[in-house]
Amino acid sequence: MTTSLAWQRRRGTVARFWRQYRTHRAGLHGLAGLALIALLALAAPLLVGADVQSVTNAPGRALESPSATFPLGTDQFGRSLLGLLVWGARISLLVGLLAAALSVAIGTLVGIVAGHYGGWFSTVVMRVTDWFLVMPALVLAIVLATVMSRSMWTVILAIGVTSWPTTARLVRAQTIAVESRPYIERATALGGGHGHIMSWHVLPNVMPLVLAQTTLGISTAILTEATLAFLGLGDPTVVSWGGMLQDAREAGAVSSGHWWYLAPPGIAIALVALAFTLCGRAIESVLNPKLGVGR
């Protein structure tokens, strides 16, 4: 009985959220863009097939300019760049999602625990967080990516481990705010343990914030993935947008004037990052109209 009530309340919250989100035009555009790109990425096996990655069966000659057969030209192995771009969306989105999820998960855990327990424990945890905050994130990510062997998981880990402190700070502040509400006291009085309070009362209340953080984090993660790939720290055996930019550069596409090799992956990265940012900002302003971002 109580659970169904809770469910009803949650459903109501979601519906209210969506009604407000709909009023943000930019947010809707972002969402539409995301849906389109996600669809493309999911349908990639049907649209282009895993064979686009094959170098031994490459259909074209090296670095062909755009034509009817290859709308975006070919890379140095003679593979279709359009196919690679579509295929690359899978890795770029996957890395972005997983890295942001990892980062937000760490941040939320640290934030809730620090906010809930308080005292010297919180001080120590927040000191560590501060330490990560003053570390230049990109520098730290570069170091991590250098330390481990080149793989997609390395990149995800490097991004996730270096970008969580902001989330931790925000979640901690929110946790403290939530726990000062009377019903938490009531829950404690009724014998709710630490774990119960954190997972049943605090977590649902910080979830919206976490959602906004994740959405914004994905666009940062996608940009960082491209950056690491550009610096030669990506996984050379998978096709991602950042990796394509790096391939283009290594092939000397910039100075030989093959702009069609360089331009599309960059535009794709920018569009996806923009779409996630727009969504994130819309979510944020729904949750906290005072922020004024969406007005």
Partner 1 sequence: MVMVTKVPPRPVAPRRLLRLLLAAGVTATTMVAVPQAAQAVPSAEGDAKAGSGTTLTVAVSQSVDSLSPFLAQKLVSTSIHRLAYEYLTNYDAKDAKPIPGLATEWKSSPDKLTWTYTIRTDSKWSDGKQATAEDAAWTFNKMMTDENAATANGSFTSNFKKVTAPDPRTLVIQLKKPQATMTALDVPIVPKHVWEKVGDFSKFNNDKQFPIVGNGPFVITDFKVDQYIKLKPNKNFWRGAPKFDELVFKYYKDGDAAVAALQKGEVSFVPNLTPAQAAALKTAENIKVNDAPGRRFFALATNPGARAKDGKAFGNGHKALLDPAVRKALFLAVDRTTIVDKVFQGHAVEGEGYIPPRFGAYFWKPGAGQKLGYDPVKAEQLLDQAGYRKNGDGKRVGKDGRPLDFRILCHATDPNDKAVGKYLQEWWGKLGIGLKVECLDNVGDPWTKGDYDLAFDGWSVNPDPDYVLSIHTCGTLPATPKDTGATDNFICDRQFDALYARQSVEYDAAKRADLVKQMQSRLYDTGYMNIMAYPNALEAYRTDQIRSITTMPEAAGNLYGQDGYWSWWSAVPAASASDGSDGGSSTGVIVGIGAAVVVVAGLGIFLGMRRRSTADDRE
Partner 2 sequence: MTTASTPADVARTAPVRATDGASRTGTTVAYLRYVAGKLGGAAVSLLAVLVTSFFLFRIIPGDPVKAMTHGVPTSAEQLATLRRQFGLDLPMWQQFTDYCGKALSGDLGMSYQFRAPVGELIATKLPATLLLTGVAVLLYSALGLWLGTRSAWNHGGLGDKLNTGVALTLWSVPSFWLGLLLIIVFSVGIGPIPGLFPTGGMESGTGETGFAYVLDVAHHMVLPVLTLVAVGYAQTLLVMRSSLLDEMGGDYLTTARAKGLRDDVVRRRHAVPNALLPTVTMVFINLGHVAAGSILVETVFSWPGLGGLFYQALSVPDLPLVQGLFVVFAGAMILMNLIADLLYPLLDPRVGR
Write out the residues near partner 2 by the rule CB under 8 A: 26, 127, 130-131, 134-139, 141-143, 146-147, 163, 166, 169-170, 173, 216-217, 219-220, 223-224, 226-227, 230-231, 242, 245, 249, 254-255, 257, 259, 262-263, 265-266, 269-271, 273-274, 277-278, 280-281, 284, 290-293, 295
Least Å distance, CB 256 to partner 1, is 3
Nearer to partner 2, 48 or 265 (CB): 265
Residue 72: CB atoms within 10 Å: 20
Least Å distance, CB 12 to partner 2, is 27
Residue 223: CB atoms within 10 Å: 18
- Select from partner 2, partner 1, none the partner in contact with residue 78, using the beta carbon and a kind-dependent cut-off of 5 to 8 Å: partner 1
Residue 74 backbone phi and psi in degrees, to 5: -125, 165
| Interaction site with partner 1 (CB under 8 A) | 54-56, 58, 62-63, 76-78, 146, 149-150, 232-233, 236-237, 247, 249-258, 288, 290-292
How far apart CA 163 and CA 166 sit, in angstroms, is 7
Least Å distance, CB 9 to partner 1, is 25
**Which distant-in-sequence residues (6+ apart) come within 8 Å of 59 by Cβ?**
69, 78, 79, 80
Least Å distance, CB 193 to partner 1, is 30
How far apart CA 86 and CA 105 sit, in angstroms, is 29
Nearer to partner 1, 65 or 199 (CB): 65
Nearer to partner 2, 100 or 197 (CB): 100
Is residue 132 within 8 Å of 165, Cβ to Cβ?
Answer: yes
3-state SS, residue 217: helix
Is residue 219 within 8 Å of 277, Cβ to Cβ?
Answer: yes
